[in-house]
């Protein structure tokens, strides 16, 4: 199952990850995912479950260096010292972050970005990215003379395709991760049901496969072992171009978002 994408800094990341948002007891989910082919866990300090992620990785039997973990520094730590302390704490929680990418959440505070980049330079983490950043936010990083992020994580699914920031990221060689790719379980759309029947796949698999074929890195979330396993069974088959176009036509822009979507916030 391990397909990868290459960052602008030369490092690679799996093209599918397990999300652990709002799953405080996520050790079992992480273990099941890793034992069934996943090699990336998408977490955050705000989720308060980094210790559980570390436990799940150890219990899985998969080598820590073979697991890519994403964590995120929240705005409370957006100072140089705060970000540095957050990195050290996450390393303690996760058991090494040399296969980690750290994301900056929401808005571009240059001192915090510097702290993340210094952590990368010291070998504490592998890569540095952002989450929920618009082109304006990322340009603030460029204007400060700092290294550009390698990845931007935003809400993405057929109903909310975030075309302006996706286009910007592609032009600037920034990988796009898709959170909430399953639209929080809103599978009752007639087209999704139709395609589920046509391809003999469940609705979640159709949505994840759409994301992969659009060149995104989806991060489906589940705590149920059977759902985690089926969500990973999205390789070795394709949605036909005509059906991809039908899914593309579901886009409702901002109105299609199912989370608080701060990409356009100043």
**How confident is the model over 133-156, as pLDDT tens digits?**
999 989 988 998 888 999 999 999
**How confident is the model over 15-52, as pLDDT tens digits?**
999 999 988 789 999 999 999 999 999 998 888 899 99
pTM across the whole model:
0.90
* Euclidean distance between CA atoms 169 and 8, whole angstroms: 11
* Euclidean distance between CA atoms 59 and 30, whole angstroms: 9
Inter-CA distances, 221 with 28, 86, 123, 145, 185, Å: 13, 24, 29, 35, 10
The set of residues, in sequence order, having a beta carbon less than 8 Å from that of 4 and lying 6+ positions away, is 12, 13, 14, 15
* Euclidean distance between CA atoms 239 and 136, whole angstroms: 34
Closest to 192 (Cα-Cα) out of 259, 242, 252, 243: 243
Identify the DSSP state of 148.
Answer: P
Q: What is residue 175's predicted lDDT score, i.e. its pLDDT?
A: 97
Catalytic position from the list 21, 38, 47, 133: 47
Per-residue pLDDT of the chain (266 residues; tens, 9 = 90+): 679 999 999 999 999 999 999 887 899 999 999 999 999 999 988 888 999 999 999 999 999 889 999 888 876 666 777 777 888 888 888 876 555 555 554 433 344 455 566 667 677 778 889 999 999 989 988 998 888 999 999 999 999 999 999 999 999 999 999 999 999 878 999 999 999 999 999 999 999 999 999 999 999 999 999 999 999 999 999 999 999 999 999 999 999 999 987 767 76
Average pLDDT, the chain: 88
* Euclidean distance between CA atoms 13 and 26, whole angstroms: 21
* Euclidean distance between CA atoms 89 and 235, whole angstroms: 35
**How confident is the model over 173-186, as pLDDT tens digits?**
999 999 999 998 78
Burial 163-196 (b: 16+ CB within 10 A, else e): eebbebbeeeebbbbbbbbbbeeeeebeebeebb
47 tagged catalytic: yes
Question: Kind and range of the H or E element at 13?
Answer: strand 12-14
Closest to 231 (Cα-Cα) out of 257, 207, 214, 213: 207
């Amino acid at each position: 199952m391990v397909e990868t994408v290459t960052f602008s800094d030369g490092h690679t990341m799996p093209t599918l990850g397990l999300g652990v948002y709002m799953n405080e007891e996520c050790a079992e989910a992480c273990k099941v995912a890793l034992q069934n082919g996943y090699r990336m866990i998408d977490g955050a300090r705000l989720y308060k479950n980094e210790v559980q992620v570390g436990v799940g990785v150890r219990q899985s039997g998969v080598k820590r260096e073979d697991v890519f973990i994403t964590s995120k520094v929240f705005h409370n730590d957006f100072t140089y010292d705060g970000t540095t302390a957050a990195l050290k704490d996450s390393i303690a929680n996760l058991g090494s972050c040399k296969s980690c990418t750290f994301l900056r959440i929401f808005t571009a505070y240059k001192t915090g970005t510097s702290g993340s980049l210094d952590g990368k330079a010291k070998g504490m983490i592998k890569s540095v990215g952002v989450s929920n950043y618009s082109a304006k936010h990322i340009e603030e990083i460029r204007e400060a003379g700092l290294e550009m992020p390698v990845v931007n994580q935003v809400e993405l699914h057929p109903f909310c395709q975030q075309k302006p920031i996706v286009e910007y990221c592609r032009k600037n060689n920034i990988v796009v991760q898709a959170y909430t790719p399953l639209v929080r379980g809103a599978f009752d759309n007639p087209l999704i049901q139709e395609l589920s029947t046509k391809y003999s796949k469940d609705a979640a698999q159709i949505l994840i496969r759409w994301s992969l074929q659009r060149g995104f890195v989806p991060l489906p979330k589940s705590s149920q072992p059977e759902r985690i396993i089926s969500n990973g069974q999205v390789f070795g088959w394709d949605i036909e171009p005509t059906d991809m176009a039908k899914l593309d036509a579901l886009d409702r822009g901002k109105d299609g978002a199912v989370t608080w979507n701060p990409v356009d916030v100043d």
